[in-house]
Amino acid sequence: MCDTFVATPDITASGKMIFGKNSDREPNEAQCLVRYPARKNSSHTVRITYRDIPQVKETYEILVSKPFHMWGAEMGANSKGVVIGNEAVFTKIRIEGKNKGLTGMDMIRVALERSQNSKDALELIVDLIEQFGQDACGGYLNKKFFYHNSFIIADAKEAYVLETAGRFWAWKKIKGFYSISNGLTLESDYDDLHSDAIDYARSQGWLAKGATFSFRESFSDSFYTTFSKCKVRRGITMREGNSVGEKMSVRRAMEILRLEGQGGPKSKVGGGPGGFPPKDSGFSPANSGMGSVCLHATGFIAPNQTNGSFVAEIDADSERSQFWATGASIPAISIFLPFSIPGKAALEGTIVQPGATPDTSLWWSHETLYRLCLRNYSDAISVFGAELKDVQESLLRKSQSILSKKGKGASLDTLSEDAIVGAVRSYQKWRMQVAELAVKGRLFARPWFDPLYRVSWFLWNKKARITDSVLTGKDLPFEPAYL
């Protein structure tokens, strides 16, 4: 489950395109933040997750956030200034479950590697869907998690929403602010549509004779769409993105992705200055659910958590674009790190990438801190919350200073490398500081004793071989983020 949004230049503070996404996946599914360089390819085919597809002679440099075990990516950008994020959507179109097609993550990486602009990426994804289909498991330990996809695709000038149901699709060009979650949103307001979509919907009895065709109403599956609480989360992001009080900016995009809480007319959505949890907010992940933009896993009702977050501000001069990625879970308590393209920071083969169990990667350095914080969220984050805000503000200021000067490329790349190393060290240090609370007996507040919640986290920790000695640092030493 995820949330993705875009704000076109006419409504942003900088006059540039702004994109954001939270990637919500299984709790132990570590996410890699990795850069793949531009390549000239001699092979005629490339192996993606489940099959081969034709390769192209040259692929562009990309920076992506991806599940550690997958070929494809949840979100990312390329050297041409194209950014893409996807959502799982649930439709009436039956999926065979034979893994003969492409995952949404496959399509994102292929499109980023091959597209010069957002329209090229849109058309390429449509071609991939029509040629190969979407029969591909998108889960980690859950091998029965099959779904279709929707996408937000943008560059410096244009942005599009593309929604699919099997091999059927609809898209429209976006103006203003637009967000998607785990449900179809396009009604009859599409700009283009698969030529057979209306006839197929009518043949299945999903479109009454004489009725106006709606892509959402005709193809959406009601059960899984409702269970995902996509309407609640999209309601929050649309409301926040269209707020008249403040124009969209990189900082504002981060704030939206950091929002905790169910939303709705009778419930609060948490978030203090910068989107960080306010001191003594009273928010507990144990009482959270699928309606939270910054998603906390709680068990059967909310089996996923936000495992990575990404923000982009896209300039017409692609080298002046800035990209921010956490490479970590739970953006409410993680640092958005700055990146540029082209660059070398997080280059494939140079950075410690996470595996299935705790290691010294960026993702697991933060995740072990988060698992410890779960025992008493408010008390734990009060230990490092002020320093976390200071680190984030410092990176925002330094990035803007570099971009305002000539010769910014090398300097911003150096800032990126320093930020990664600094984040790993900070997470490791904060984990040890929070562990001191456990010694004093302050990390076992009542929410942690919620039986179902505690059992769920006991099982997740057991699968990832997370023990108290790992969380307190005895079995997880301090090591640098780079190889």
Out of 86-90, 240-244, 406-410, 475-479, the most confident range is 86-90
Cis before 342? omega within 30: yes
Residue 86 pairs with which residues in a beta bridge? Answer: 151
277 pLDDT band, cuts 50/70/90, is low
Give 3-state DSSP helix, strand, coil % of the chain, rounded to 5: 35, 20, 45
Which comes out higher in pLDDT, residue 478 or 397? 397
**Biggest distance spanned by C-alpha atoms of the chain:** 70
pLDDT of residue 1: 76
**101 token code pair:** 């097609």
Which H/E stretch holds residue 224? helix 222-227
Residue whose structure tokens are 């494809």: 72
Three-class SS state of 44: coil
Task: Please determine, for residue 263, whether its predicted confidence score (pLDDT) is greater than 50.
Answer: no
Q: State how far the Cα of 326 lies from the Cα of 22, in Å rounded to an integer.
A: 10
Q: 372-430: per-residue pLDDT in tens?
A: 999 889 889 999 999 999 999 999 999 999 988 865 556 899 999 999 999 999 999 99
Judged against a pLDDT cut of 50, whether residue 268 lies above it is answered with: no
Shortest CA distance to 321 belongs to which of 160, 83, 116? Answer: 83
> Does residue 325 carry a pLDDT above 90?
yes
| pLDDT above 70 for 62 | yes
Lowest mean pLDDT among 141-145, 197-201, 259-263, 478-482: 478-482
> Would you give the DSSP letter of residue 195?
T
In contact, 431 and 372? CB cutoff 8 Å: yes
* Predicted pLDDT of residue 262: 65
Q: What tens digit of pLDDT does each residue of 107-147 get?
A: 999 999 999 999 999 999 999 999 999 999 999 999 999 99
| Model confidence at 77: pLDDT above 50 | yes
pLDDT level of residue 264 (50, 70, 90 thresholds):
very low
Percent of the chain with pLDDT over 70: 90
Just list the catalytic residues.
2
Phi, psi of 396 (to 5 degrees): -60, -45
Q: Within 13 Å of residue 226, how many CA atoms lie on the same side as its CB?
A: 3
Taking each continuous run of H as one helix and of E as one strand, the counts in the chain are 12, 18
pLDDT digits over 158-181, tens only? 999 999 999 999 999 999 999 999
The pLDDT confidence band at residue 440, using thresholds 50, 70 and 90, is low
- In which band, very low, low, confident or very high, does the pLDDT at 29 lie, cut at 50, 70 and 90? very high
Which of the pair, 128 or 475, is modelled with greater confidence?
A: 128
> Average pLDDT, stretch 208-220?
93
- DSSP secondary-structure letter at 250? H
Domains and CATH numbers, the chain: 2-351 (3.60.60.10)
* pLDDT of res. 319: 85
Q: How far is 262 from 457, CA to CA, in rounded Å?
A: 20
- Name the band, by pLDDT with cuts 50, 70 and 90, for residue 274: low
* CA distance linking residue 416 with residue 478, whole number of Å: 20
- Burial class of residue 270 (count of CB atoms within 10 Å of its CB; 0-12, 13-18, 19+): buried
The stretch 434-447 carries a mean pLDDT of 67
- How far apart CA 269 and CA 238 sit, in angstroms, is 13
Q: What is the mean pLDDT of the chain?
A: 90
- Residue 439, pLDDT above cutoff 70: no
At 290, the amino acid letter reads M
Residue 412 CA to residue 402 CA, distance in Å, equals: 6
